[in-house]
């Protein structure tokens, strides 16, 4: 049995992953989540948490939002922390700019998860063709859903509906591709 441990900056990422991962993980993989109290807490504790993990057959995925920082700098810092922890094989993924970009990349999932109508047809508008370029996806999804979207409950509702292959968020696609490669040993 293999274990995939996700180190996450916030509870909403866990909720989304719990809806998405069953679609791509083989039966012999179990998942665990280490949810930190924001990005500073993740960066402060990551080395210690990874170093102390002793269970065999464990692989790690570290994920956080880009926010207003440079994506390459965020990833480089997290990769460095994983290497310092003795886990150079950990997969590091950055949601550009925020986790909500994943949702804006699949408005059909938002529509289904939040029980709304009329959102899916907006997928081809300029804002939602490349949602990773939006500066504030969390604000955009709240506006788009008239305040119905809330971080944790919205992530829990939308996650199971996200399509693995058709999401317009490149950072979502990179996460899925990375997890698949990690599990395949590539």
Q: What is the CATH number of the domain that holds 60?
A: 3.40.50
| pLDDT at 186 > cutoff 80 | no
**What pLDDT does residue 67 have?**
86
- pLDDT-above-90 percentage for the chain: 91
Same domain? For 43 and 128 the reply is no
Same domain? For 135 and 175 the reply is no
Same domain? For 88 and 105 the reply is no
Closest CA to 63 of 105, 24, 28, 33: 33
**What pLDDT does residue 161 have?**
98
**What pLDDT does residue 126 have?**
87
Average the pLDDT over 80-99 and give the result. 95
Question: What are the angstrom distances between the C-alpha of 154 and each of 4, 111, 162, 171?
Answer: 24, 11, 12, 19
Average the pLDDT over 37-65 and give the result. 96
Write out the residue range of the structural domain in which residue 128 sits.
100-161
**In whole angstroms, what is the distance from residue 73 CA to residue 61 CA?**
17
* Residue predicted with more confidence, 155 or 68: 155
**What pLDDT does residue 169 have?**
96
Same domain? For 113 and 128 the reply is yes
For residue 85, the Cα-to-chain-centroid distance in whole angstroms is 22
Question: What are the angstrom distances between the C-alpha of 49 and each of 34, 72, 162?
Answer: 9, 23, 30
User: Which helix (H) or strand (E) element contains residue 91?
Assistant: strand 91-95
**In whole angstroms, what is the distance from residue 112 CA to residue 74 CA?**
32
Average pLDDT, rounded, for the chain = 95
Residue with tokens 């504790």: 45
DSSP, collapsed to helix, strand or coil, labels residue 125 as: coil
**What pLDDT does residue 68 have?**
83
**In whole angstroms, what is the distance from residue 64 CA to residue 42 CA?**
9
């Amino acid at each position: 049995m293999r274990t995939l441990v996700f180190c996450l900056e916030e509870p909403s990422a866990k909720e989304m992953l719990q809806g998405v991962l069953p679609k791509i993980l083989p039966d012999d993989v179990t998942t665990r989540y280490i949810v930190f109290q924001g990005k500073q807490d993740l960066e402060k504790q990551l080395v210690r948490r990874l170093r102390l993990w002793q269970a065999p057959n464990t692989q790690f995925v570290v994920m956080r939002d880009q926010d207003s920082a440079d994506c390459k700098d965020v990833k480089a810092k997290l990769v460095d922390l994983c290497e310092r922890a003795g886990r150079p094989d950990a997969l590091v993924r950055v949601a550009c700019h925020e986790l909500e970009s994943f949702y804006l990349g699949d408005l059909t999932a938002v529509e289904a998860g939040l029980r709304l109508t009329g959102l899916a047809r907006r997928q081809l508008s300029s804002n939602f063709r490349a949602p990773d370029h939006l500066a504030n996806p969390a604000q955009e999804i709240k506006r788009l859903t008239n305040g119905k979207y809330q971080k944790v409950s919205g992530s829990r509702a939308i996650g199971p509906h996200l399509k693995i292959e058709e999401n317009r968020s490149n950072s979502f696609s990179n996460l899925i591709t990375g997890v698949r490669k990690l599990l395949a040993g590539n």
